[in-house]
């Protein structure tokens, strides 16, 4: 009666595939667009961080006799309407533009992840309540809402950041919740429960680490969008106040001289575009690296 398929055979000794686990960084670097984005961002961030060392002049030093100076050895990108060195202002402006978007990015990531995870894990009323709040916030055009909040608080970089954080955490919250919910249905999460791991451990070791990938991707792309939003709000005069250099604010100031000195708008415009491009390229590259590797 014994089924022939069940006759014992020599114990199977499979040799595991000897593929080296490809380190993420190497994988990323082998992707040309991602590499371009990464290099662009590294370059911009290091320049911004090292501004006092790199910038040829003090960004606020005025030289009224030498306004709208053309490109020269002394002023590599010329001077602006007050005779300030344009390149120095761009470099110092990068500090505020880049680090503020990054700061806001990290803050909304943190808030969104916490709220989204709570909603995803708790479910029921808690989930319903949190998601309705998110719905309400998402129902408004986000830039307008950020504008309104900052407007109420009064212009200033800190207020602008608060306004942005208050509006943009919702995307992450929504995505986190969805990821947590889908991850909770995965067989390995079920089997982690089946071996009696406490819920806390299941969440921290089995659910959250497998969500990191998509979150990093969204985070990178989102930071690019934040940079644009920050520039837009600064352009409208809500962010840093003159004479502090910031790309959006420079764009706004340059606008008045668009006809006579268009370069004053072109340079910060290029800087914003490049930075946003860097975030987007890196984000796309990260998505290729992180997304399909969930399994095998």
Partner 1 sequence: MAGGPLLEVRDLAAGFDSRHGMVKALNGVSFGLEPGERLGIVGESGSGKSVTAHAITGLLPSNARVTGEARLDGVDLLQMSKRKMRHVRGERIGMVFQNPLHCLNPSMKIGAQIEEVILAHTDADKREASRRSLELLDQVGIPSPDRSAQEYPHLFSGGMRQRVMIAIALACKPQIVIADEPTTALDVTIQAQIIDLLAETCKAYGAAVILITHDLGILAGFADRIVVMYAGRVVEQGDVDSIYYRPAHPYTLGLLRSVTRIDEARRDRLVPITGNPPSPVLLPSGCAFHPRCPYTQPVCSERVPPLELKGGIDHPAACHFAEEVATHRAGDAVQ
Tell me the torsion sign for CA atoms 180, 185, 191, 196.
positive
**Shortest separation between residue 193's beta carbon and partner 1, angstroms:** 7
The nearer residue to partner 1, 12 or 65, going by C-beta atoms, is 12
* Rounded Cα gap, residues 83 and 42, in angstroms: 30
- Under the criterion CB under 8 A, does residue 3 sit at the interface with partner 1? yes
Of 2, 22, 3, which is closest to residue 290 (Cα–Cα)?
22
Size of the site for partner 1 (CB under 8 A): 40
Q: How many CB atoms lie within 10 A of CB 128?
A: 12
- Under the criterion CB under 8 A, does residue 205 sit at the interface with partner 1? yes
* Subset of 210-269 contacting partner 1 (CB under 8 A): 210, 212
The nearer residue to partner 1, 20 or 70, going by C-beta atoms, is 20
* Rounded Cα gap, residues 146 and 235, in angstroms: 14
* Subset of 45-64 contacting partner 1 (CB under 8 A): none
- Under the criterion CB under 8 A, does residue 125 sit at the interface with partner 1? no
CA-only gyration radius of the chain, Å = 25
DSSP conformation letters of 69-117: --S-SSSTT-B-TTS-BHHHHHHHHHHHHHHHHHHHHHHHHHHHHHHHH
Binding marks (x or -) toward partner 1, 9..48, rule CB under 8 A?
A: x-xxxxxxx-x-x---------------------------
Selected binder of partner 1 within 180, 192, 221, 275 (CB under 8 A): 192
* Rounded Cα gap, residues 134 and 136, in angstroms: 5
Q: Which residues bind partner 1 (CB under 8 A)?
A: 1-9, 11-17, 19, 21, 186-188, 190-198, 201, 205-206, 209-210, 212, 293-296
């Amino acid at each position: 009666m014994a089924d022939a398929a069940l006759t014992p055979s020599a114990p199977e000794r499979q040799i595991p595939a000897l593929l080296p686990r490809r380190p993420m960084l190497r994988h990323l670097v082998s992707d040309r667009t991602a590499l371009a984005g990464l290099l662009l961002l590294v370059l911009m961030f290091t320049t911004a961080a090292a501004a006092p060392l790199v910038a040829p002049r003090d960004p606020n030093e005025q030289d009224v006799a030498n306004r709208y100076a053309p490109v020269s050895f002394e002023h590599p990108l010329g001077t602006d309407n007050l005779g300030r060195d344009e390149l120095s202002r761009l470099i110092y402006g990068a500090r505020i533009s880049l680090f503020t978007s990054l700061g806001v990015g990290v803050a909304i990531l943190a808030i969104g992840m916490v709220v989204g995870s709570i909603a995803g894990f708790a479910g029921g009323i808690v989930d319903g309540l949190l998601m309705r709040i998110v719905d309400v916030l998402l129902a408004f055009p986000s830039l307008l809402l950020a504008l309104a909040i900052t407007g109420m608080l009064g212009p200033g970089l800190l207020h602008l950041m608060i306004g942005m954080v208050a509006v943009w955490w919702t995307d992450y919250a929504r995505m986190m919740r969805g990821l947590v919910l889908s991850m909770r249905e995965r067989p390995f999460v079920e089997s982690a429960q089946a071996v009696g791991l406490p819920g806390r451990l299941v969440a921290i070791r089995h659910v959250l680490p497998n969500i990191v990938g998509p979150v990093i991707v969204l985070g990178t792309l989102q930071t690019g969008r934040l940079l644009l939003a920050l520039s837009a709000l600064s352009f409208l005069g809500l962010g840093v106040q003159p004479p502090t250099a910031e790309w959006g604010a420079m764009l706004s100031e340059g606008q008045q001289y668009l006809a006579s000195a268009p370069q004053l708008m072109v340079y910060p415009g290029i800087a914003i575009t490049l930075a946003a491009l860097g975030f987007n390229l890196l984000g796309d590259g990260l998505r290729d690296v992180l997304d399909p590797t969930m399994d095998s």
